[in-house]
Amino acid sequence: MSLPLASAPKSAPIPQGVSLLEEIARLKKSLNAVILAHYYQDGEIQDLADFVGDSLQLSQAAAKTQADTIVFCGVHFMAETAKILNPNKAVLIPDLDAGCSLADRCPGDQFAAWLKQYPGHKVVSYINCSAEVKALSDVICTSSNAEKIVRSFPREQPIVFAPDRHLGAWVEKQTGRPLVKWPGFCVVHEQFTGRQLLRLKAQHPSAQIIAHPECEESVLDLADYIGSTRGLLDHVSKNPQQKAFIVATEVGILHLMQKARPDAELIPAPPSSGCNCAICPYMRLNSLEKLYVCMRDRGPSVTLAEDLRLRALKPVQRMLELSA
Ligand code: 13P
Ligand code: SF4
């Protein structure tokens, strides 16, 4: 996989000598903005954000913010969810092209056609999807609440799960309930393999393997702990007796993990591409420069047709209610 490095912003150049950190702080005040960031953002962005979290925490933070402007340092579906929840706020994103392989490979029209094969099914969609797919869903879930959301339906209720087949398979295993799965996957987590993990484990026998549920089954079968990015961070923070962890997710999570556990050895699981660590090419389109420019120029921003927003809002709200 080729990794597009964060490019320079396309708009007016940044004058020489500008302190990006000072300017971002000044703009934050003048816009009455809150900066939300995902754990896969560069460390320098995580360090200046008002709130860093996983997808569920970020949508909860977006739902309750009093700020006039939300600056979303993450990928498009995350910022779009913030807009679904906040039609009257500006939602800025440093790079509008920051997509997600799961969301991009499940187009709304194809999903609608596919669903026709499953009448009588409830539709549970992973938050890593477009507003169009959300609007076709009964409830949204994230990697931290997928099991709970599926269990919220009566046992005999047939369920469609989209768009991540690996998360779906893991939830099937946890709940013992069959799910009809859209065949999507994350290009980052798909690259971890059980074989490589076993090799790494042989080099670090006392290390625990911790993995995100977007990984394939052969990886999850080897994991001592499986959870969302927040779950992985909490697991490392709350197990001080454990001194080494092999971490099977995007490497950005190591930034706060290492701060929480400076004594721990954190070993990033290598992707099959031959790189040393897994980097989400979409998340890393954002940069400090683009963050500054999007605040300075009040854009790019997320826009949504109101009828689509209202249809997508219902399943997002259902998730927030079930996760309270
Ligand atoms: P989390 O909800 O665990 O933060 O995951 C989001 C994501 O995109 C993982 O690849
Ligand atoms: Fe999407 Fe995978 Fe990147 Fe997460 S890591 S944003 S699932 S492409």
Token output for 132: 């169009």
Q: What CATH superfamily classification does 102-181 receive? A: NadA-like (3.40.50.10800)
What is the number of helices (H) and of strands (E) in the chain? 15, 12
Among 99, 75, 90, which Cα is nearest to 297's?
90
Pocket test for ligand 2, best of 165, 280, 284 (most atoms within 8 A of CB): 280
Residues 319, 140: contact at Cβ < 8 Å?
yes
Half-sphere exposure of 198 (CA within 13 A, CB side): 5
Residue 282 CA: nearest ligand 2 atom is 3
Place of tokens 């393997």: 209
Q: How far is CA 107 from CA 101, 136, 285, in A?
A: 11, 11, 22
Nearest listed ligand to the Cα of residue 228 = 1
CB 106 within 8 A of CB 84: no
Q: Is the CB of 128 under 6 A from ligand 2?
A: yes
Q: Do residues 219 and 231 make contact, with C-beta atoms less than 8 angstroms apart? A: no
Q: Where are the domains of the chain?
A: 20-99+283-306, 102-181, 189-268
Buried b vs exposed e over 43-74: b needs ≥16 C-beta within 10 Å?
Answer: eebbebbeebbbbbbbbbbbeebebebbbbbb
Mutate to test the pocket of ligand 2, among 39, 73, 75, 127 (most ligand atoms within 8 A of CB): 75
For the chain, the farthest-separated pair of C-alpha atoms sits apart, in whole angstroms, at 63
- Ordered strands of the 90-92 beta sheet: 51-53, 33-38, 69-73, 90-92
103 Cα nearest atom in ligand 2: 1
Pocket test residue of 100, 166, 253 for ligand 2, highest count of atoms within 8 A of CB: 100
Ligand nearest to the CA of 58: 1
251 contacts 268 by C-beta, under 8 angstroms:
yes
Give 106 Cα–ligand 2 centroid separation in angstroms: 13
Nearest CA to ligand 1 atom 6: 55
Tokens coding 302: 């997320």
The CB of 55 under 6 Å from ligand 1? The reply is: yes
With beta carbons less than 8 A apart as the criterion, state whether 301 and 91 touch.
Answer: yes
Q: Measure the CA–CA gap between 213 and 227, rounded to whole angstroms.
A: 6
Question: Phi and psi at residue 60, in whole multiples of 5°?
Answer: -65, -40
pLDDT at position 2: 37
- Which atom from ligand 2 is nearest to the alpha carbon of 281? 3
Handedness of CA 131, 78, 319, 183 (dihedral sign): positive
Pick the residue whose CA is nearest to atom 3 on ligand 1: 228
Write out the chain's pLDDT in tens, 324 residues: 334 445 555 688 988 999 999 999 999 999 999 999 999 999 999 999 999 999 999 999 999 999 999 999 999 999 999 999 999 999 999 999 999 999 999 999 999 999 999 999 999 999 999 999 999 999 999 999 999 999 999 999 999 999 999 999 999 999 999 999 999 999 999 999 999 999 999 999 999 999 999 999 999 999 999 999 999 999 999 999 999 999 999 999 999 999 999 999 999 999 888 787 899 999 999 999 999 999 999 999 999 999 999 999 999 999 999 998
Fold type of domain 20-99+283-306: Rossmann fold (3.40.50)
Distance CA 321, CA 324 (A): 5
Cα gap 239→229, rounded to integer Å: 16
∠ CA 72-75-76, rounded to 5°: 85
CB 278 near ligand 2, within 6 Å: no
Tell me the CATH architecture of domain 189-268.
3-Layer(aba) Sandwich (3.40)
Task: Write the residue with the smallest CA distance to atom 6 of ligand 2.
Answer: 100
Residue of the CA atom closest to atom 8 of ligand 2? 100
Q: What are phi and psi of 120, to 5 degrees?
A: 85, -5
Q: Do domains 20-99+283-306 and 189-268 have the same CATH topology?
A: yes
Among 55, 147, 234, 316, the mutation site with the greatest number of ligand 1 atoms within 8 A of its Cβ is 55
In this predicted structure, what is the pLDDT of residue 4?
A: 45
What pLDDT sits at residue 12? Answer: 85
Phi, psi of 118 (to 5 degrees): -125, 60
CB 41 less than 6 A from any atom of ligand 1: no
Euclidean distance between CA atoms 23 and 29, whole angstroms: 10
How many residues are present in the chain? 324
